[in-house]
Amino acid sequence: MDQSSAWGLDLGATLVGPSRTRFRVWVPHAKSVAVRLRNAQGEPLGGEPVYLAARPHGYFEAEISGVTAGMRYTYLLDGAKERPDPASRWQPDGVHGPSAVVNPKDFAWTDGQWRGLPLERLIFYEMHTGTFTQAGTFEAIISHLAYLREEVGITAIELMPVGQFPGARNWGYDGVYLYAPQSTYGGPQGLKTLVDACHAGGLAVILDVVYNHLGPEGNYLGDFGPYFTDHYRTPWGPAINYDGPDSDEVRHFVIANALYWLTEYHLDGLRLDAIHGIYDFSAKHLLAELAEAVHRIARQEGRVLHVIAESNLNDPRVIEPAAVGGFGLDAQWNDDFHHALHTALTGERDGYYQDFSGVEHLAAAWREGFVYAGQRSLFRRRRHGRSSRHCEGSQFVVFAQNHDQVGNRALGERLSALVSLEALKVATASVLLSPCLPLLFMGEEYGETTPFLYFTNHGDPGLAEAVRRGRREEFAAFGAFVAHAEVPDPQDPATFERSRIHPGVPADPRRAAMLRWHQGLIALRKAVPALGSGRSGRHGCRVWAYEAESVIVVHRWVKGERDALILLGFNREPAVLTLNEPAGQWRLGLDGVAEEFGGTGEGAAPPCLIIGPEGVSVRVGACVACVYLRTNGTAA
């Protein structure tokens, strides 16, 4: 990996010599700012605090001799408030403790030849560091990388947020130190060790970052400057100040954070959480500026870097190029695909699921990306979205499960607790055979049944009780969830422990069969170009929705390669389909009812199909999930 980029972090504590450190912090309304130094154990050193010099635009800065890596420090604002560094690289004692000086160059990277993976090759595996292993650390993940790569077939791990949050248990979206990897996960060294090991095994690493809000506990940014604004409100509290007075420095703080993760930690991309909570009416939106900065670093360093958004706006501007007025992000999550798939599988219609029904909506997600592209949404009680049919499939990330869609249920149930094994296989095939970028949620590959619950470890009793109450109130729009007598207490350590998974090749026959199904689908996706994601315009996809039979038929092709024909059944009973196209001879490549995948073999799909001018009648079993490959030629 080429580290010749001139970019370097200009905030926080930066070593400029063996025993000399520059401190730089933005405090625009302070009269004085000083650094109070401590030793590596956090004990205060004798002497007076060292005052920083005022610099333009509200910055304070000074170089201090005798400060080495590992020493700790706080800022003293106007001689009164003592606070950790907003740009702290490490918070070894938690969100309220002093910051620690880190030497970014003290890690011996071995990934010098790694350049990243192109977008279309990404098969994501989303994981929560704390619950993926028993140890709950970055380095504990390393022993499972061979399993993920070889037994499952994923190509990228996606870490839920790791910025320092209060306590030891949290999803990560309550983080308050954007630059400091969570100390209980292993801090800076642990994260670098994990990333280096991933690259050694050919795996990319994507990090979930949160730029729409900060958590409440340990959030001292407001003491330093106008990082927040009352002009807008988010579901999580005051919005970050991206377009008001003094917002240039706030924007710099966030964009520098994005570049920091990609350069100092060699990450391959960022997933931006809930960008619909980023309010910016500047002529150049923060997201466009961020994407531009990331892609500039990628060019300078000869790397492939990705910026992926989570958004509920259904606005293709997020992924449209800057040349046509878009923000220029590389991809975005497509919740419509999930919602359509979930309702087809479960029949649930509460909350936002009320906008989806049958299989036609899922077919629309296959064809066009967004299902809601300007039509009226019952849930929102207004028109929603804009057409994305001009966007590439590889600009969308799709999933049957993720941390939100599982963890934001009252009892954190996975699909494995809601539908049959056969239906689970249909869900998996829908995701892994789509023209989009597939994402699996940790444990999904073998049908994990443990819940993924919402958990916190706040030290403030009032805040802890507010979180408990908020969780109960959150499900008001989901009648089926409210029926449960008790929502698990997020503060209870048992809630966290119940969410741990046990990754690896399972001994249980049912789970082993589910793992083999994932292996087969991913192997087929990699081997057959027609089943991958592409950005070249060579890919084609036609979808037929048999609403009465609850079956979707998909024809996928790439010019010059074998076509694929996919049957996905959400039918509870066997059905008979008449296929009039695509014409040709087709041989069965994969069938979910096969015994190796935990099926009985009953209702197996025909081993061959010949679709001629008169069409062909096909009897399919309940919850069919199968793939045919053309045997007579290739796509034109």
Domains identified in the chain and CATH numbers:
12-100 (2.60.40.10), 137-513 (3.20.20.80), 539-630 (2.60.40.1180)
3-state secondary structure of 341: helix
Is 368 a catalytic site residue? no
* CB contact at 8 A, 419 and 459: no
Amino acid in the structure at residue 280 = D
Amino acid 236: pLDDT: 82
* CB contact at 8 A, 293 and 259: yes
Element (H, E) at 429: helix 421-432
d(CA 596, CA 430): 19
3-state secondary structure of 180: strand
Among the options 85, 151, 268, 273, which is catalytic?
273
Contacts of 103 (CB under 8 A, 6+ apart): 15, 69
d(CA 437, CA 402): 14
**Residue labelled with tokens 């996809």:** 541
Contacts of 479 (CB under 8 A, 6+ apart): 350
Amino acid 233: pLDDT: 87
**Residue labelled with tokens 């919602």:** 339
d(CA 347, CA 354): 10
Among the options 158, 196, 289, 310, which is catalytic?
310
Is 273 a catalytic site residue? yes
- Which is nearest to 395 in space by CA: 431, 435, 426, 351? 435
Amino acid 537: pLDDT: 63
d(CA 276, CA 311): 6
Burial of 182 from C-beta contacts in 10 A (0-12 / 13-18 / 19+): buried
pLDDT less than 70: residues of the chain: 1-5, 475-485, 535-538, 635-636
Provide φ and ψ at 281, rounded to 5°.
-105, 25
Contacts of 47 (CB under 8 A, 6+ apart): none
Residues counted in the chain: 636
Query: Could you tell me the pTM of the whole model?
Result: 0.96
CA angle 558, 564, 568 (to 5 degrees): 130
Pull the structure tokens for residue 432: 């892994």
Instruction: Using DSSP bridges, classify how beta strands 53-54 and 12-17 pair: parallel, antiparallel or unpaired.
Output: unpaired
Pull the structure tokens for residue 325: 């007025």
Q: What mean pLDDT, rounded, does the chain reach?
A: 94
Number of CB atoms found within 10 A of residue 340's CB: 26
Amino acid 544: pLDDT: 97
d(CA 524, CA 153): 11
3-state secondary structure of 360: helix
Amino acid 539: pLDDT: 81
Contacts of 630 (CB under 8 A, 6+ apart): 562, 563, 564, 565, 584, 585, 586
Pull the structure tokens for residue 278: 């980023």
* CB contact at 8 A, 376 and 384: yes
Amino acid in the structure at residue 180 = A
Amino acid 46: pLDDT: 80
